[in-house]
Structure 1
Amino acid sequence: MAEQSLPGPGALVVVRSLIYFVVFYVVTALYLVLGSWLLIGPRSWAMKGLEVHGRTCVWLLRLICGTKLEVRGRENLPKTGCLVISKHQSAWDTFGLISLFRDPAIVLKDELKWIPFYGWFCVKFEHILVKREKASAALKSMIRDAKQRISINREVVIFPEGTRTIPGAPPDYKPGYVALYEALGVVTVPLALNSGLFWPRRSLWRYPGTIVVEFLPALPPGLPRAEFRSRIESAIEAASTRLIEEAARSPSPPPLALAYRRAHAG
Protein backbone atom coordinates (compact mmCIF):
# COMPACT_ATOMS: atom_id res chain seq x y z
CA MET A 1 0.00 0.00 0.00
CA ALA A 2 2.15 2.87 -1.31
CA GLU A 3 1.62 6.20 0.43
CA GLN A 4 2.60 8.19 -2.65
CA SER A 5 -0.18 6.58 -4.73
CA LEU A 6 -2.98 7.83 -2.47
CA PRO A 7 -5.35 10.56 -3.66
CA GLY A 8 -4.61 14.08 -2.46
CA PRO A 9 -6.53 15.59 0.45
CA GLY A 10 -9.50 17.90 0.00
CA ALA A 11 -9.17 21.65 0.42
CA LEU A 12 -10.66 21.63 3.94
CA VAL A 13 -8.19 18.97 5.10
CA VAL A 14 -5.31 20.99 3.63
CA VAL A 15 -6.35 24.22 5.36
CA ARG A 16 -7.03 22.56 8.71
CA SER A 17 -3.78 20.59 8.54
CA LEU A 18 -1.67 23.64 7.80
CA ILE A 19 -3.29 25.57 10.65
CA TYR A 20 -2.65 22.66 13.01
CA PHE A 21 0.95 22.31 11.80
CA VAL A 22 1.68 25.91 12.76
CA VAL A 23 -0.24 25.77 16.04
CA PHE A 24 1.33 22.44 17.07
CA TYR A 25 4.90 23.64 16.63
CA VAL A 26 4.23 27.03 18.22
CA VAL A 27 2.62 25.35 21.26
CA THR A 28 5.42 22.79 21.49
CA ALA A 29 8.11 25.47 21.26
CA LEU A 30 6.38 27.51 23.97
CA TYR A 31 6.15 24.48 26.25
CA LEU A 32 9.83 23.66 25.72
CA VAL A 33 11.15 27.19 26.16
CA LEU A 34 8.78 28.60 28.78
CA GLY A 35 8.86 25.29 30.64
CA SER A 36 12.66 25.03 30.56
CA TRP A 37 12.79 25.85 34.28
CA LEU A 38 11.32 22.36 34.81
CA LEU A 39 14.72 20.98 33.82
CA ILE A 40 16.04 21.96 37.25
CA GLY A 41 12.96 20.91 39.24
CA PRO A 42 11.73 17.46 40.30
CA ARG A 43 11.17 14.94 37.51
CA SER A 44 7.51 14.62 38.54
CA TRP A 45 6.95 18.29 37.66
CA ALA A 46 8.51 17.81 34.24
CA MET A 47 6.37 14.71 33.64
CA LYS A 48 3.25 16.68 34.51
CA GLY A 49 4.30 19.30 31.95
CA LEU A 50 4.75 16.52 29.37
CA GLU A 51 1.27 15.21 30.15
CA VAL A 52 -0.29 18.67 29.84
CA HIS A 53 1.47 19.21 26.51
CA GLY A 54 0.14 15.88 25.21
CA ARG A 55 -3.41 16.61 26.33
CA THR A 56 -3.24 20.10 24.79
CA CYS A 57 -2.06 18.81 21.40
CA VAL A 58 -4.70 16.06 21.36
CA TRP A 59 -7.39 18.62 22.19
CA LEU A 60 -6.14 21.02 19.48
CA LEU A 61 -6.14 18.19 16.93
CA ARG A 62 -9.81 17.56 17.66
CA LEU A 63 -10.66 21.28 17.64
CA ILE A 64 -8.83 22.17 14.42
CA CYS A 65 -8.83 18.95 12.36
CA GLY A 66 -11.81 17.06 13.75
CA THR A 67 -9.59 14.14 14.82
CA LYS A 68 -10.96 12.61 18.01
CA LEU A 69 -9.45 10.06 20.40
CA GLU A 70 -11.07 6.92 21.76
CA VAL A 71 -9.33 4.75 24.36
CA ARG A 72 -10.37 1.14 24.88
CA GLY A 73 -9.31 -1.45 27.43
CA ARG A 74 -7.97 0.87 30.13
CA GLU A 75 -8.84 -1.84 32.65
CA ASN A 76 -6.09 -4.01 31.12
CA LEU A 77 -3.39 -1.56 32.24
CA PRO A 78 -2.20 -2.35 35.79
CA LYS A 79 -1.57 0.34 38.39
CA THR A 80 1.93 -1.01 39.01
CA GLY A 81 5.10 -1.15 36.96
CA CYS A 82 4.59 -3.06 33.71
CA LEU A 83 5.91 -3.51 30.18
CA VAL A 84 3.85 -2.09 27.30
CA ILE A 85 4.48 -3.35 23.76
CA SER A 86 2.97 -0.80 21.36
CA LYS A 87 2.30 -0.52 17.65
CA HIS A 88 3.92 2.62 16.19
CA GLN A 89 2.36 4.26 13.12
CA SER A 90 2.64 7.99 13.62
CA ALA A 91 4.40 10.91 15.28
CA TRP A 92 1.10 11.27 17.15
CA ASP A 93 2.08 8.26 19.27
CA THR A 94 4.98 10.15 20.85
CA PHE A 95 2.69 12.68 22.54
CA GLY A 96 -0.84 11.30 22.25
CA LEU A 97 -0.12 8.22 24.35
CA ILE A 98 1.58 10.08 27.22
CA SER A 99 -1.52 11.05 29.18
CA LEU A 100 -2.86 7.48 29.05
CA PHE A 101 -0.17 6.27 31.46
CA ARG A 102 0.68 7.10 35.06
CA ASP A 103 4.44 7.60 34.60
CA PRO A 104 5.74 6.23 31.29
CA ALA A 105 9.40 5.58 30.47
CA ILE A 106 9.64 5.27 26.69
CA VAL A 107 12.41 3.42 24.89
CA LEU A 108 13.92 5.92 22.40
CA LYS A 109 17.04 6.22 20.28
CA ASP A 110 19.92 7.84 22.15
CA GLU A 111 20.72 10.50 19.53
CA LEU A 112 17.49 12.32 20.38
CA LYS A 113 19.10 13.62 23.57
CA TRP A 114 21.28 15.99 21.54
CA ILE A 115 18.28 17.96 20.23
CA PRO A 116 18.14 21.25 22.19
CA PHE A 117 15.32 21.38 24.74
CA TYR A 118 13.52 18.28 23.38
CA GLY A 119 16.50 16.02 24.01
CA TRP A 120 17.27 17.63 27.34
CA PHE A 121 13.72 16.90 28.46
CA CYS A 122 14.01 13.27 27.27
CA VAL A 123 16.91 12.94 29.72
CA LYS A 124 14.94 14.76 32.43
CA PHE A 125 11.94 12.47 31.97
CA GLU A 126 14.33 9.53 32.40
CA HIS A 127 13.13 7.85 29.25
CA ILE A 128 15.25 4.87 28.20
CA LEU A 129 17.76 6.06 25.59
CA VAL A 130 19.34 3.32 23.49
CA LYS A 131 22.45 3.49 21.28
CA ARG A 132 21.18 1.22 18.54
CA GLU A 133 24.51 0.93 16.70
CA LYS A 134 26.04 -0.88 19.71
CA ALA A 135 23.69 -3.85 19.83
CA SER A 136 25.03 -5.96 22.70
CA ALA A 137 25.95 -3.05 24.98
CA ALA A 138 22.69 -1.28 24.07
CA LEU A 139 20.62 -4.29 25.09
CA LYS A 140 22.36 -4.56 28.47
CA SER A 141 21.93 -0.83 29.08
CA MET A 142 18.26 -0.93 28.06
CA ILE A 143 17.54 -3.82 30.43
CA ARG A 144 19.40 -2.15 33.30
CA ASP A 145 17.53 1.12 32.85
CA ALA A 146 14.18 -0.64 32.40
CA LYS A 147 14.65 -2.57 35.65
CA GLN A 148 15.29 0.70 37.47
CA ARG A 149 12.14 2.28 36.01
CA ILE A 150 10.05 -0.78 36.90
CA SER A 151 11.41 -0.69 40.45
CA ILE A 152 9.71 2.68 40.99
CA ASN A 153 6.43 1.50 39.39
CA ARG A 154 6.78 3.19 36.03
CA GLU A 155 5.42 1.77 32.78
CA VAL A 156 8.18 0.84 30.31
CA VAL A 157 6.86 1.50 26.81
CA ILE A 158 8.60 0.10 23.72
CA PHE A 159 7.77 0.28 20.02
CA PRO A 160 9.13 -3.12 18.93
CA GLU A 161 9.32 -2.31 15.21
CA GLY A 162 11.71 0.53 16.00
CA THR A 163 10.13 3.00 13.60
CA ARG A 164 6.77 4.17 12.32
CA THR A 165 5.04 1.72 9.96
CA ILE A 166 2.25 2.22 7.43
CA PRO A 167 -1.09 0.89 8.72
CA GLY A 168 -1.58 -2.59 7.33
CA ALA A 169 2.08 -3.07 6.31
CA PRO A 170 3.76 -6.41 7.12
CA PRO A 171 5.13 -6.25 10.69
CA ASP A 172 8.85 -6.25 11.46
CA TYR A 173 9.27 -6.82 15.20
CA LYS A 174 12.81 -6.57 16.56
CA PRO A 175 13.79 -9.02 19.34
CA GLY A 176 14.65 -6.41 22.00
CA TYR A 177 11.16 -6.42 23.47
CA VAL A 178 11.41 -10.17 24.15
CA ALA A 179 14.66 -9.63 26.07
CA LEU A 180 12.91 -6.95 28.15
CA TYR A 181 10.02 -9.31 28.90
CA GLU A 182 12.33 -12.05 30.09
CA ALA A 183 14.49 -9.71 32.17
CA LEU A 184 11.76 -7.66 33.85
CA GLY A 185 9.44 -10.45 34.98
CA VAL A 186 6.35 -8.23 35.03
CA VAL A 187 2.92 -8.18 33.41
CA THR A 188 3.08 -7.17 29.73
CA VAL A 189 0.32 -5.22 27.98
CA PRO A 190 0.00 -5.25 24.16
CA LEU A 191 -1.17 -1.95 22.67
CA ALA A 192 -2.87 -1.60 19.27
CA LEU A 193 -3.80 1.65 17.52
CA ASN A 194 -4.74 3.20 14.18
CA SER A 195 -3.12 6.64 14.50
CA GLY A 196 -1.33 6.33 11.16
CA LEU A 197 -4.65 6.51 9.31
CA PHE A 198 -5.33 10.03 10.55
CA TRP A 199 -1.77 11.36 11.07
CA PRO A 200 0.18 9.54 8.32
CA ARG A 201 3.95 9.36 8.55
CA ARG A 202 5.91 11.75 6.30
CA SER A 203 2.78 13.79 5.62
CA LEU A 204 1.43 17.20 6.62
CA TRP A 205 -2.19 16.08 6.32
CA ARG A 206 -4.34 15.40 9.37
CA TYR A 207 -7.61 13.64 8.61
CA PRO A 208 -10.87 13.86 10.58
CA GLY A 209 -12.16 10.75 12.31
CA THR A 210 -11.31 8.82 15.45
CA ILE A 211 -7.88 7.63 16.51
CA VAL A 212 -8.46 4.47 18.55
CA VAL A 213 -5.94 3.27 21.13
CA GLU A 214 -6.68 -0.18 22.54
CA PHE A 215 -4.98 -1.77 25.54
CA LEU A 216 -5.29 -5.53 25.02
CA PRO A 217 -5.47 -8.22 27.73
CA ALA A 218 -2.19 -8.49 29.62
CA LEU A 219 0.18 -11.43 29.40
CA PRO A 220 1.70 -12.84 32.59
CA PRO A 221 5.46 -13.07 33.15
CA GLY A 222 7.30 -16.35 32.68
CA LEU A 223 5.88 -17.55 29.35
CA PRO A 224 8.25 -19.47 27.04
CA ARG A 225 9.97 -17.10 24.59
CA ALA A 226 8.34 -18.50 21.44
CA GLU A 227 4.85 -18.51 22.97
CA PHE A 228 5.22 -14.96 24.29
CA ARG A 229 6.44 -13.61 20.97
CA SER A 230 3.68 -15.36 19.04
CA ARG A 231 0.93 -14.17 21.39
CA ILE A 232 2.13 -10.56 21.54
CA GLU A 233 2.60 -10.12 17.82
CA SER A 234 -0.60 -11.90 16.79
CA ALA A 235 -2.64 -9.92 19.35
CA ILE A 236 -1.25 -6.53 18.28
CA GLU A 237 -1.48 -7.22 14.56
CA ALA A 238 -4.99 -8.68 14.71
CA ALA A 239 -6.30 -5.76 16.78
CA SER A 240 -4.54 -3.13 14.62
CA THR A 241 -6.00 -4.71 11.47
CA ARG A 242 -9.46 -4.70 13.05
CA LEU A 243 -9.09 -0.98 13.84
CA ILE A 244 -8.14 -0.25 10.22
CA GLU A 245 -11.19 -2.17 9.01
CA GLU A 246 -13.42 -0.28 11.44
CA ALA A 247 -12.12 3.04 10.08
CA ALA A 248 -12.65 1.83 6.50
CA ARG A 249 -16.33 1.23 7.29
CA SER A 250 -16.84 4.70 8.78
CA PRO A 251 -18.93 7.31 6.89
CA SER A 252 -15.80 9.29 5.91
CA PRO A 253 -12.85 6.88 5.88
CA PRO A 254 -9.32 8.32 5.62
CA PRO A 255 -7.39 7.54 2.39
CA LEU A 256 -5.15 4.85 3.92
CA ALA A 257 -8.19 2.98 5.26
CA LEU A 258 -9.84 3.14 1.83
CA ALA A 259 -6.65 1.88 0.20
CA TYR A 260 -6.51 -0.99 2.68
CA ARG A 261 -10.14 -1.92 1.95
CA ARG A 262 -9.54 -1.89 -1.81
CA ALA A 263 -6.37 -3.97 -1.45
CA HIS A 264 -8.22 -6.59 0.59
CA ALA A 265 -11.55 -6.53 -1.22
CA GLY A 266 -12.99 -9.97 -1.80
Structure 2
Amino acid sequence: MIWLRSVLFNIAFFTSTALVAVLATPVLLAPSHWTMPPIRFWAWLVVQELRFICGIRLQVTGQEHLPQSGPALIAAKHQSALDTIIWLLLVPRCCYVLKQELLRIPFYGFLVAKAGMISVDRAAGGAAMRHLLKAGKEAAAAGRQLVIFPEGTRVAPGQHSPYQPGIAALASATGLPVIPVATDSGMLWGRRAFLKRPGVISVTVLPPLPAGLPRPVLMQQLETVIERETDRLMARGLVDNSVDELVQTAAP
Protein backbone atom coordinates (compact mmCIF):
# COMPACT_ATOMS: atom_id res chain seq x y z
CA MET A 1 0.00 0.00 0.00
CA ILE A 2 2.82 2.44 0.84
CA TRP A 3 4.45 1.67 -2.51
CA LEU A 4 1.19 2.29 -4.41
CA ARG A 5 0.50 5.50 -2.50
CA SER A 6 4.02 6.70 -3.27
CA VAL A 7 3.57 5.99 -6.99
CA LEU A 8 0.29 7.91 -7.05
CA PHE A 9 1.80 10.79 -5.11
CA ASN A 10 4.74 11.11 -7.48
CA ILE A 11 2.38 11.15 -10.46
CA ALA A 12 0.21 13.81 -8.81
CA PHE A 13 3.21 15.84 -7.62
CA PHE A 14 5.02 16.05 -10.96
CA THR A 15 1.79 16.57 -12.90
CA SER A 16 0.55 19.40 -10.68
CA THR A 17 4.01 20.98 -10.60
CA ALA A 18 4.24 20.97 -14.39
CA LEU A 19 0.68 22.25 -14.86
CA VAL A 20 1.01 25.10 -12.37
CA ALA A 21 4.40 26.09 -13.77
CA VAL A 22 3.14 26.17 -17.36
CA LEU A 23 -0.21 27.82 -16.62
CA ALA A 24 1.48 30.46 -14.47
CA THR A 25 4.00 31.40 -17.16
CA PRO A 26 2.04 34.55 -18.20
CA VAL A 27 2.71 36.12 -14.79
CA LEU A 28 6.36 36.38 -15.82
CA LEU A 29 5.25 39.44 -17.78
CA ALA A 30 3.55 40.96 -14.73
CA PRO A 31 5.04 42.62 -11.61
CA SER A 32 7.00 40.18 -9.43
CA HIS A 33 4.44 40.10 -6.59
CA TRP A 34 1.96 38.47 -8.97
CA THR A 35 4.19 35.40 -9.00
CA MET A 36 3.59 34.39 -5.38
CA PRO A 37 -0.13 33.41 -5.57
CA PRO A 38 0.41 30.56 -8.09
CA ILE A 39 3.50 29.38 -6.19
CA ARG A 40 1.56 29.39 -2.92
CA PHE A 41 -1.29 27.54 -4.61
CA TRP A 42 1.19 24.91 -5.80
CA ALA A 43 2.53 24.51 -2.25
CA TRP A 44 -1.00 24.07 -0.94
CA LEU A 45 -1.66 21.42 -3.61
CA VAL A 46 1.41 19.45 -2.55
CA VAL A 47 0.34 19.49 1.11
CA GLN A 48 -3.12 18.24 0.11
CA GLU A 49 -1.61 15.50 -2.09
CA LEU A 50 0.52 14.34 0.81
CA ARG A 51 -2.49 14.27 3.11
CA PHE A 52 -5.02 12.52 0.89
CA ILE A 53 -2.72 10.22 -1.11
CA CYS A 54 0.08 9.37 1.32
CA GLY A 55 -1.67 9.89 4.64
CA ILE A 56 0.97 12.41 5.72
CA ARG A 57 -0.26 15.29 7.88
CA LEU A 58 1.50 18.41 9.05
CA GLN A 59 1.68 19.57 12.66
CA VAL A 60 3.16 22.99 13.29
CA THR A 61 3.81 24.34 16.78
CA GLY A 62 5.30 27.64 17.87
CA GLN A 63 3.70 29.68 15.10
CA GLU A 64 3.39 32.56 17.54
CA HIS A 65 7.13 33.11 16.99
CA LEU A 66 6.58 33.82 13.29
CA PRO A 67 5.83 37.36 12.11
CA GLN A 68 2.46 38.21 10.59
CA SER A 69 4.22 40.83 8.50
CA GLY A 70 7.62 42.47 8.20
CA PRO A 71 11.09 41.00 7.79
CA ALA A 72 12.31 37.86 9.53
CA LEU A 73 15.26 35.50 9.36
CA ILE A 74 14.31 31.84 9.74
CA ALA A 75 16.92 29.08 10.13
CA ALA A 76 15.15 25.78 9.38
CA LYS A 77 16.28 22.20 9.75
CA HIS A 78 16.34 20.53 6.32
CA GLN A 79 15.59 16.80 6.11
CA SER A 80 13.12 16.63 3.24
CA ALA A 81 11.99 18.26 0.02
CA LEU A 82 8.87 19.25 1.95
CA ASP A 83 10.94 21.79 3.87
CA THR A 84 11.43 23.73 0.62
CA ILE A 85 7.66 23.95 0.15
CA ILE A 86 5.84 24.53 3.43
CA TRP A 87 7.31 27.95 4.20
CA LEU A 88 5.39 29.35 1.25
CA LEU A 89 2.31 28.69 3.41
CA LEU A 90 3.65 29.53 6.87
CA VAL A 91 4.84 33.11 6.29
CA PRO A 92 3.24 35.84 4.16
CA ARG A 93 6.19 36.80 1.93
CA CYS A 94 8.59 33.87 1.90
CA CYS A 95 12.05 34.35 0.40
CA TYR A 96 13.96 31.08 0.22
CA VAL A 97 17.74 30.94 0.01
CA LEU A 98 18.19 28.08 -2.45
CA LYS A 99 20.79 26.45 -4.64
CA GLN A 100 21.25 27.94 -8.09
CA GLU A 101 20.61 24.61 -9.84
CA LEU A 102 16.88 24.92 -9.14
CA LEU A 103 16.65 27.89 -11.48
CA ARG A 104 17.51 25.60 -14.38
CA ILE A 105 14.25 23.66 -14.10
CA PRO A 106 12.08 24.75 -17.06
CA PHE A 107 9.15 27.04 -16.17
CA TYR A 108 9.51 26.35 -12.42
CA GLY A 109 12.91 27.98 -12.34
CA PHE A 110 11.57 31.02 -14.18
CA LEU A 111 8.83 31.48 -11.59
CA VAL A 112 11.22 31.06 -8.66
CA ALA A 113 13.56 33.68 -10.10
CA LYS A 114 10.68 36.06 -10.82
CA ALA A 115 9.41 35.64 -7.26
CA GLY A 116 12.70 37.01 -5.96
CA MET A 117 14.03 33.90 -4.25
CA ILE A 118 17.75 34.12 -3.53
CA SER A 119 19.80 31.63 -5.53
CA VAL A 120 23.35 30.83 -4.44
CA ASP A 121 26.09 29.24 -6.51
CA ARG A 122 27.72 27.05 -3.89
CA ALA A 123 30.89 26.76 -5.98
CA ALA A 124 31.41 30.53 -6.19
CA GLY A 125 33.04 30.98 -2.77
CA GLY A 126 33.33 34.58 -1.63
CA ALA A 127 31.27 35.89 -4.54
CA ALA A 128 28.37 33.70 -3.45
CA MET A 129 28.54 35.09 0.08
CA ARG A 130 28.60 38.69 -1.18
CA HIS A 131 25.59 37.99 -3.38
CA LEU A 132 23.75 36.34 -0.47
CA LEU A 133 24.33 39.29 1.85
CA LYS A 134 23.34 41.91 -0.76
CA ALA A 135 20.18 40.04 -1.78
CA GLY A 136 19.34 39.22 1.83
CA LYS A 137 19.55 42.86 2.91
CA GLU A 138 17.33 43.87 -0.01
CA ALA A 139 14.75 41.20 0.83
CA ALA A 140 14.69 42.21 4.50
CA ALA A 141 14.35 45.88 3.54
CA ALA A 142 11.35 44.90 1.40
CA GLY A 143 9.72 43.25 4.43
CA ARG A 144 10.16 39.64 3.32
CA GLN A 145 10.77 36.59 5.50
CA LEU A 146 14.10 34.94 4.66
CA VAL A 147 14.24 31.16 5.01
CA ILE A 148 17.69 29.59 5.02
CA PHE A 149 18.80 26.04 5.77
CA PRO A 150 21.88 26.43 8.00
CA GLU A 151 23.32 23.04 7.04
CA GLY A 152 23.19 24.05 3.38
CA THR A 153 21.67 20.78 2.19
CA ARG A 154 19.23 18.04 3.17
CA VAL A 155 20.55 15.88 5.99
CA ALA A 156 19.07 12.45 6.72
CA PRO A 157 17.52 11.87 10.17
CA GLY A 158 20.15 10.85 12.69
CA GLN A 159 23.01 12.29 10.62
CA HIS A 160 24.78 15.60 11.15
CA SER A 161 26.28 18.22 8.87
CA PRO A 162 28.19 21.32 10.05
CA TYR A 163 26.18 24.53 10.17
CA GLN A 164 27.35 26.99 7.55
CA PRO A 165 28.41 30.59 8.33
CA GLY A 166 25.92 32.15 5.90
CA ILE A 167 23.19 32.31 8.54
CA ALA A 168 25.39 34.28 10.96
CA ALA A 169 26.51 36.61 8.17
CA LEU A 170 22.89 37.24 7.20
CA ALA A 171 21.94 37.93 10.80
CA SER A 172 24.75 40.47 11.07
CA ALA A 173 23.95 42.10 7.72
CA THR A 174 20.20 42.41 8.34
CA GLY A 175 20.25 43.00 12.09
CA LEU A 176 17.42 40.49 12.49
CA PRO A 177 17.02 37.93 15.27
CA VAL A 178 17.28 34.34 14.05
CA ILE A 179 14.21 32.12 14.40
CA PRO A 180 15.29 28.45 14.76
CA VAL A 181 13.07 25.69 13.38
CA ALA A 182 13.27 21.93 13.96
CA THR A 183 11.52 19.15 12.05
CA ASP A 184 11.37 15.39 11.65
CA SER A 185 10.17 15.55 8.02
CA GLY A 186 12.84 13.14 6.80
CA MET A 187 11.32 10.28 8.76
CA LEU A 188 8.30 10.15 6.44
CA TRP A 189 9.66 11.81 3.28
CA GLY A 190 13.29 10.75 3.21
CA ARG A 191 16.16 12.38 1.38
CA ARG A 192 16.03 11.06 -2.19
CA ALA A 193 13.55 8.42 -1.00
CA PHE A 194 10.77 7.19 -3.26
CA LEU A 195 8.53 5.86 -0.49
CA LYS A 196 6.41 8.33 1.48
CA ARG A 197 5.29 6.79 4.78
CA PRO A 198 1.98 7.79 6.43
CA GLY A 199 2.01 9.67 9.71
CA VAL A 200 2.53 13.16 11.09
CA ILE A 201 5.39 15.46 10.12
CA SER A 202 6.17 17.83 12.98
CA VAL A 203 7.60 21.33 12.61
CA THR A 204 8.57 23.28 15.73
CA VAL A 205 9.20 27.01 15.52
CA LEU A 206 11.43 27.92 18.47
CA PRO A 207 11.78 31.30 20.19
CA PRO A 208 14.01 33.76 18.30
CA LEU A 209 17.64 34.11 19.30
CA PRO A 210 18.45 37.72 20.18
CA ALA A 211 19.85 39.98 17.49
CA GLY A 212 23.45 41.08 17.85
CA LEU A 213 24.88 37.89 19.32
CA PRO A 214 28.58 37.32 18.56
CA ARG A 215 28.95 34.94 15.63
CA PRO A 216 30.39 31.97 17.60
CA VAL A 217 27.69 32.30 20.26
CA LEU A 218 24.92 32.52 17.66
CA MET A 219 26.15 29.48 15.77
CA GLN A 220 26.53 27.40 18.93
CA GLN A 221 23.11 28.34 20.33
CA LEU A 222 21.40 27.88 16.96
CA GLU A 223 22.79 24.40 16.41
CA THR A 224 22.09 23.36 20.00
CA VAL A 225 18.42 24.36 20.06
CA ILE A 226 17.62 23.02 16.57
CA GLU A 227 19.37 19.68 17.01
CA ARG A 228 17.98 19.14 20.51
CA GLU A 229 14.41 19.76 19.39
CA THR A 230 14.89 17.70 16.22
CA ASP A 231 16.11 14.75 18.31
CA ARG A 232 13.05 15.12 20.54
CA LEU A 233 10.67 15.15 17.58
CA MET A 234 12.29 12.10 16.01
CA ALA A 235 12.25 10.18 19.28
CA ARG A 236 8.55 10.95 19.70
CA GLY A 237 7.88 9.97 16.09
CA LEU A 238 9.58 6.61 16.56
CA VAL A 239 7.43 5.85 19.59
CA ASP A 240 4.07 7.11 18.36
CA ASN A 241 3.67 8.98 15.09
CA SER A 242 0.07 10.01 15.68
CA VAL A 243 -1.52 13.02 17.37
CA ASP A 244 -5.09 14.20 17.81
CA GLU A 245 -4.75 17.89 17.08
CA LEU A 246 -3.30 18.76 13.69
CA VAL A 247 -2.61 22.14 12.18
CA GLN A 248 -4.47 22.24 8.87
CA THR A 249 -3.00 24.66 6.36
CA ALA A 250 -5.80 26.70 4.79
CA ALA A 251 -6.00 27.16 1.06
CA PRO A 252 -4.52 30.49 -0.07
Question: TM-score scaled to structure 1, two decimals?
Answer: 0.88
* 3-state SS of 1:68 partner: strand
CA distance in 2, matches of 1:38, 1:190: 33
Given candidates 22, 26, 38, the residue that maps to 2:11 is 22
Deviates more, 1:111-120 or 1:173-182: 111-120
Q: Which runs of 5+ in 2 are unaligned?
A: 243-252
Corresponding pairs, count: 241
Q: 1:186 to 1:19 in 2, by over 3 A?
A: same
Matched, 1:47 2:14: no
Distance of 2:90 and 2:113 partners within structure 1: 21
Q: 1:219 to 1:23 in 2, by over 3 A?
A: same
Match of 2:2 in 1: 13
Q: Give the equivalent residue in structure 2 for 1:97.
A: 87
Aligned-residue RMSD, C-alpha: 1.2
Structure 1: distance between partners of 2:41 and 2:103: 21
The equivalent residue for 2:148 is 158
SS at match of 1:163: coil
TM-score, with normalisation over the residues of structure 2? 0.92
Equivalent in 42, 46, 61 of residue 50 of structure 2: 61
Max radius of gyration: which structure? Answer: 1
Q: Which of residues 213, 219, 224 is equivalent to 2:209?
A: 219
Contact 2:157 2:184 in 1 (8 A): yes
Q: Which residue of 2 aligns with 1:196?
A: 186
Counterpart pick for 1:75 among 64, 68, 82: 64
Report the 3-state secondary structure (helix = DSSP H, G, I; strand = E; otherwise coil) of the residue aligned with 2:85: helix
Shift in Å at residue 44 of structure 1?
2.1
Q: Deviations over 1:82-118 (max 9, x none)?
A: 1111111111111123201111111112232222112
Among candidates 78, 82, 106, match of residue 88 of structure 1: 78
What is the SS of the residue equivalent to 1:166?
coil
Percentage identity across paired residues of the two chains? 39
- Tell me the alpha carbon deviations over residues 185-232 of structure 1, each in whole angstroms, 9 at most, x when there is no partner: 012100111111111111110111001111100112111111111111
